[in-house]
Amino acid sequence: MSTKQLTISALFMSLVTILSASVFSIPVPGGHFYFNTILIFLVALIFPPLEAVIIAGLGSFLGDFFFYPAPMFVTLVTHSLQVLLISLILRTKKETGSYHKGLVLLALLVGGVVDIIGYYLGRSFVYATPDYAILKLPFDILGVVLGIVGAYVIYYHTGFLKEFKKFWESSL
């Protein structure tokens, strides 16, 4: 990994950390609604699996650690597993340079299910109760749906991917 790639990865990790903070959330019944989901899905689509796990998993862990530490280990496991599965599903087709839209959507849906189940189980058994987890479940589902739609639109309908690839692969 080059210095430039490491710097880009660190930038994305810091963005995930910042967006995982309670400062950038909306209070909802049962907790907060966070805006980091789009970025976490996007990280899974654009970075290799190991980098994606470090950026999204550790970045969101640090956001919780600094601002609301109760769920930090649930966050670490959930987002790490989420981006790892997305990256591994897509890894088989990455050599061609682009992904089939259906495969991307499937990978994002699998990641979304992992996110919803991970936080439900975390809230139920690690730092809250099943009743609390049920209260927050609709907002988790909404967050995942918005995250999938947002990442999909950015990935396919903007110039972000083309510019990212050009910047990632270019030499200093």
DSSP string, the chain: --HHHHHHHHHHHHHHHHHTSGGGEEEETTEEEES-HHHHHHHHHHS-HHHHIIIIIIHHHHHHHHH--TTHHHHHHHHHHHHHHHHHHHHTTGGGSS--HHHHHHHHHHHHHHHHHHHHHHHHHTSS-HHHHHHHHHHHHHHHHHHHHHHHHHHHHSSHHHHHHHHHHS--
pTM over 0.85: yes
Q: How many CA atoms lie within 13 A of 49 on its CB side?
A: 13
What is the residue-averaged pLDDT of the chain? Answer: 89
| Whether pLDDT at 166 is above 90 | no
| Alpha-carbon distances, residue 127 vs 92, 100, 114, 164 (angstroms) | 37, 39, 18, 38
Q: Which residues is 34 bridged to in the sheet?
A: 25
- State the average pLDDT over residues 125-135: 88
Worst-scoring range by mean pLDDT, 46-55, 90-99, 122-131? 90-99
| Res 99: pLDDT | 76
| Whether pLDDT at 45 is above 90 | yes
User: For residues 137 and 1, which has the higher predicted lDDT (pLDDT)?
Assistant: 137
End-to-end CA distance of the chain: 13
Number of structural domains found in the chain: 1
**Domain limits at 78?**
3-169
Q: Which residues is 32 bridged to in the sheet?
A: 27
- Residue 74, domain CATH: 1.10.1760.20
Whole-angstrom Cα distance, residue 169 to residue 172?
10
Q: Which of 6, 139, 119 is nearest to 64 (CA)?
A: 119
| Res 25: pLDDT | 80
| Whether pLDDT at 150 is above 90 | yes
